[in-house]
Structure formats: C-alpha cells, structure tokens
Amino acid sequence: MGASPVITITGCVIVAIRDDLDDRSVMMLQDQLVEEVARTKAKGVIIDISSLEIVDTFVGRMLGAMAEMAGMLNARTIVVGMRPAVAMTLVELGMTLAGVETALNADKAMGLILSGRASTSRAR
C-alpha cells in the first residue's frame, strides 16, 4: 500500500489522508510532505481528512507531527474535512493538535493561507 498523493498548488502542499494508512505508509507520507514543503518553499499545508470516519491517538499524533514538521519549515497547516464525530473523538482523547488550524474545505483553507488571515478555529 502506498502513501497518499502529495501535490502542490499555488504555494500550498495538499494531501488527502486515506482511512487505510498503516504505520509504514504514514512515515512515507510524512517524509514526502516535508520534502515537498522544503522543495517548493510552500506557505501552507492543507491536510484533508474527510475520508476518515474515526480517529485514534495514532492518527491524532500523525496530524500533530505533520503540522509541527511543516511549521519548522515556516509553513502553516490547516486540516479540512473534519467530521463532527472525529472532532468529538479528538476532544475525548484529550488531543489538542497544537499548531493545527481547521477550515471547512480546501478552498477556504487555501484562501486563509494565501491571505495570511487566521482561521476562526485553532487548536491549542
């Protein structure tokens, strides 16, 4: 099983997290994401989690780690497509996802990144 595709559009690296990622695929995805951010000098990273029906601590840590890596390369991370059940699970697990912002969809996230405006939702 391969990692999710990573693409760059208008200075934003975009990745869609699949529901069937295993540990090895996650590590490959993180490496690919960091390399793409550094190569393109991206201003932001958009992570689409709309295909995830559930989130466990592994996925939560993965999202936080990807945001931290991108932040070290001066790229802002915005997660899109979060379902209400996923948000509730993250809160129940006590996962704050520091440094991760959220937006309703990729279009809104791209607008926030390109404009430099803050989103209304920021994990603390």
Express each pLDDT in 88-107 by its tens digit. Answer: 888 888 887 877 899 999 99
Measured over the CA atoms of residue 58, residue 20, residue 49 and residue 78, the dihedral's sign is positive
Let me know: does 51 contact 16? Beta carbons within 8 Å.
Answer: yes
- Average pLDDT, whole number, for the chain? 86
pLDDT, tens digit, 9 for 90 and up, residues 59-72: 888 888 999 999 99
Domains of the chain: 6-122 (3.30.750.24)
Confidence class of residue 8 from pLDDT cuts 50, 70 and 90? Answer: very high
Q: What is the rounded CA–CA span in Å between residue 59 and residue 73?
A: 21
Number of helices and strands in the chain (H, E): 4, 6
Confidence category of residue 77, pLDDT binned at 50, 70, 90: very high
What local confidence, expressed as pLDDT, does residue 99 receive? 73
- Which residue would you say has higher pLDDT here, 62 or 43? 43
pLDDT band at residue 3 under the 50/70/90 scheme: low
Which pair of tokens denotes residue 117? 């405006």
Cα separation values, 119 from 57, 105, 106, 111, Å: 24, 12, 13, 10
Structure tokens at 65: 């780690």
